[in-house]
Copies of this chain bind each other. A is one copy, B any other.
Amino acid sequence: MVSQDGRGTALQIRSLVTSQGELQVSLTRVPVPAPAADEVLVRVEAAPINPSDLGLLFAGADLSTAVQGGTPDDPRVTARVPEAALRSVAGRFGVSMPIGNEGAGVVVEAGSSAAAQALLGKAVALLGGAMYSQYRCVPAEQCLVLPPGATPADGASSFVNPLTALGMVETLRREGHTALVHTAAASNLGQMLNRICAKDGIALVNIVRNPAQVALLRGIGAVHVCDSSAPGFLHDLTEALSATGATLAFDAIGGGKLASQILMCMEAALLRKSTLYSRYGTSTHKQVYVYGGLGSGPMELNRSYGMAWGVGGWLIMSFLQKIGAAATAELKQRVAAELKTTFASRYAGEVSLREALDLGAIAVYAKAATGHKYLINPAKD
């Protein structure tokens, strides 16, 4: 399709929530912009469906109510957003939002600047937002050039998971901890964190939710793996915390008692080495950062771990802002250098923009289950 200025239009996934609680996911046509002097036009070829993208795409809607609508040319999925979830999305009522935090593609057009021209034909990764689009026009400086031989699919997840995992280790260093705990640890991110910690010599305690995930992590060389579904979980966790001295945890779950249990076992491990009784507990600070919301329901803290503890939200973008541009650039350079090793991601499959709006596909990728991460390939028909 060609627009009035002759540059044509391209497909993009949009998500909208009405104030009546209807979610509408659609495929729209948007103009293909011409890059300014310092910009490049990227043909997007791979964008992962991360849990954070699912949150924006489906807005907490009950997908068992999803209905396929529209036409083959103008597909549309609608679903109900439950009353309880509706308040938290009030800020986006009536706003048609593009989706897709990150992705990769090929630079097909470049502005006149030297920096932009240098990227022509290159495979680049972007943390650009709106990546579930056929084309994205962005400043050249936002592009991470993929190493020789790396495809857009290799580089699709260059930001969210790699920077989150590196940000966790960087947080550990900056806040003076020496070992780390991670929950939902068999995820793509969790496997990446295992590789980083192994390489950097940091002890890591992995918490998973079933024996299959224990086996998966053992298979990639993880030393400390605790199964929260096992009857001896609290004992196993205390042993692992005692062995590693971990006093910092990153929790992807949020809801329920797990964060409290981690703090409790950390304190129990510390008390083994302490000789002095204090009713305020040990003086060693124990911290859990919640970076995801896989577990619904409230978090319950029983506060049976003295007074030196903290729980809080943790967001990679806020963390990068705090550490500044130079420190962030260092982390990104490491991602590029180790893209096909430490930071390699695996996907269960690839869908086109149109296929991403198919109820059958949604039923699979919306689960955000370990081993079921999908790529969207907007260049695929």
Residues of A within 8 A of B (CB): 52, 55-56, 87-89, 91-92, 95, 254-255, 260, 271, 277-280, 283, 290-291, 293, 298-304, 306-315, 317-318
Of the A-B pairs whose beta carbons lie under 8 Å apart in the complex, a sample of 22, sorted by A's number, is A52-B279, A55-B279, A56-B279, A87-B304, A91-B277, A92-B277, A95-B277, A260-B298, A280-B315, A280-B317, A283-B318, A290-B307, A293-B303, A298-B300, A298-B302, A303-B313, A307-B315, A307-B318, A308-B313, A308-B315, A308-B318, A310-B311
A56 cross-chain contacts in B, Cβ below 8 A:
279
A306 with B301: in contact, given A277-B91, A279-B56, A283-B318 (CB under 8 Å)? Answer: no
Do A312 and B313 have beta carbons less than 8 Å apart? no
A87 cross-chain contacts in B, Cβ below 8 A:
304
A25 CB → nearest B CB, Å: 15
Do A254 and B298 have beta carbons less than 8 Å apart? no
Do A311 and B311 have beta carbons less than 8 Å apart? yes
A306 with B299: in contact, given A56-B279, A91-B277, A318-B283 (CB under 8 Å)? Answer: no
Q: How many copies does the complex hold?
A: 2
A307 cross-chain contacts in B, Cβ below 8 A:
290-291, 313-315, 318
A260 to B298, CA, bound (A): 10
Do A89 and B279 have beta carbons less than 8 Å apart? yes
Do A303 and B271 have beta carbons less than 8 Å apart? no
Main secondary structure of the interface of A (DSSP, over half): mixed
A274 CB → nearest B CB, Å: 8
A286 CB → nearest B CB, Å: 9
A285 CB → nearest B CB, Å: 8
A58 CB → nearest B CB, Å: 11
A357 to B293, CA, bound (A): 50
A301 with B308: in contact, given A91-B271, A279-B89 (CB under 8 Å)? Answer: no
A88 cross-chain contacts in B, Cβ below 8 A:
304
Q: Which 3 A-B pairs have the closest CB atoms?
A: A310-B312, A307-B313, A91-B277
**Nearest B-chain residue to A277, judged by Cβ:** B91
A89 to B279, CA, bound (A): 7
**Nearest B-chain residue to A268, judged by Cβ:** B87
Do A306 and B298 have beta carbons less than 8 Å apart? no
A95 to B278, CA, bound (A): 12
A280 cross-chain contacts in B, Cβ below 8 A:
315, 317
Do B308 and A303 have beta carbons less than 8 Å apart? no
A293 to B309, CA, bound (A): 14
A52 to B280, CA, bound (A): 9
A317 cross-chain contacts in B, Cβ below 8 A:
280
A303 cross-chain contacts in B, Cβ below 8 A:
254-255, 290, 293, 298-299, 313
**Which of A92, A304, A311: most chain B Cβ within 10 A?**
A311
Do B313 and A306 have beta carbons less than 8 Å apart? yes
Do B301 and A301 have beta carbons less than 8 Å apart? yes
**Which of A92, A254, A283, A302: most chain B Cβ within 10 A?**
A302
A334 to B235, CA, bound (A): 48
A309 cross-chain contacts in B, Cβ below 8 A:
312-313
